[in-house]
Amino acid sequence: MSKHQNHSQTHLGHRARKRFGQNFLNDEGIIEEIVDAINPEPGENLIEIGPGLAALTEPVADRSGHLKVVEIDRDLVERLRTHPFLNQKLDVIEADALKTDFRQFTDEKPARVFGNLPYNISTPLIFHLLSFADSIEDMHFMLQKEVVDRLAAEPGSKNYGRISVGVQQACEVTPVVYVPPSAFTPPPKVESAVVRLTPYKTSPYPVKDRKQLHSLCLTAFNQRRKTIRNNLKGLIPAEQLESLGIDPSARPEALSVQDYCKLSDWLTEQAE
């Protein structure tokens, strides 16, 4: 075996594919903690994104009796559809979650969404799901711990940024389980954690246009060392920042979620 080959991992006959960022969860104690945090019940509208080798799917199906799974990897789709225990309990949807309209699954009741998300799609997928937030009861995602830290970060901290503002505007953010690298095969080089995102029925930070807010934050946090006046130059004049109660010489991480919502609403009003 060459030194290039011995990095490939075969797990239950399935080779982890770098392209899909696959690391398989196989620590029974951690799996139970995660499933307890999700707390699936019979009759709920459960949707798993990227079930992989069904480490979470099996215990969730045991507790709930039925769930939908969205999986992009054709080999894994085939495995789930022909699985001796699970095939009766699953609706397997072969699709790219980033391009999926989740409203099609929420006609009867709001969805409870969960999954172990590959690093490369975690942020875009969470933002994609926010566009269906009114049809989602809650979301539980296993992510790199640094992403969970960013989602939960307070203004003024180094982790606070675009995704903190965008997600906290729409959801209550609660880190629920720490997951060490040893819980996976192959062990990743990073720590992981599970976060609970609960969309607000009525946000404490109302905003007229979420897409406008996300676009504003992209610009505002583009250069963290510069002042908010510099980063928003050409978009919002300094005197307008002051009249909205925002210090133009502040760094982007000093502004609260509410501040960004105020700025976003001002931009939306200019466009009307």
CA–CA gap between residue 46 and residue 125 (Å, rounded): 17
Read off the tokens for 187. 């062990």
Beta strands 10-11 and 14-15: pairing type? Answer: antiparallel
User: How crowded is the C-beta side of 79, counted as CA atoms within 13 Å?
Assistant: 16
Q: Is 52 assigned to a binding site?
A: no
> Encoding tokens for residue 148?
């969970």
120 is in an annotated binding site: no
Tell me if 235 is assigned to a ligand binding site: no
Whether residue 25 is annotated as binding a ligand: the answer is yes
Distance CA 86, CA 71 (A): 15
How many angstroms from the chain centroid is the CA of residue 69? Answer: 16
- Confirm or deny that 26 is annotated as ligand binding: no
50 is in an annotated binding site: yes
CA neighbor of 112 nearest in space, from 41, 164, 52, 47: 47
Q: Enumerate the known binding-site residues.
A: 23, 25, 50, 71, 96, 116
Q: Enumerate the known binding-site residues for S-adenosyl-L-methionine.
A: 23, 25, 50, 71, 96, 116
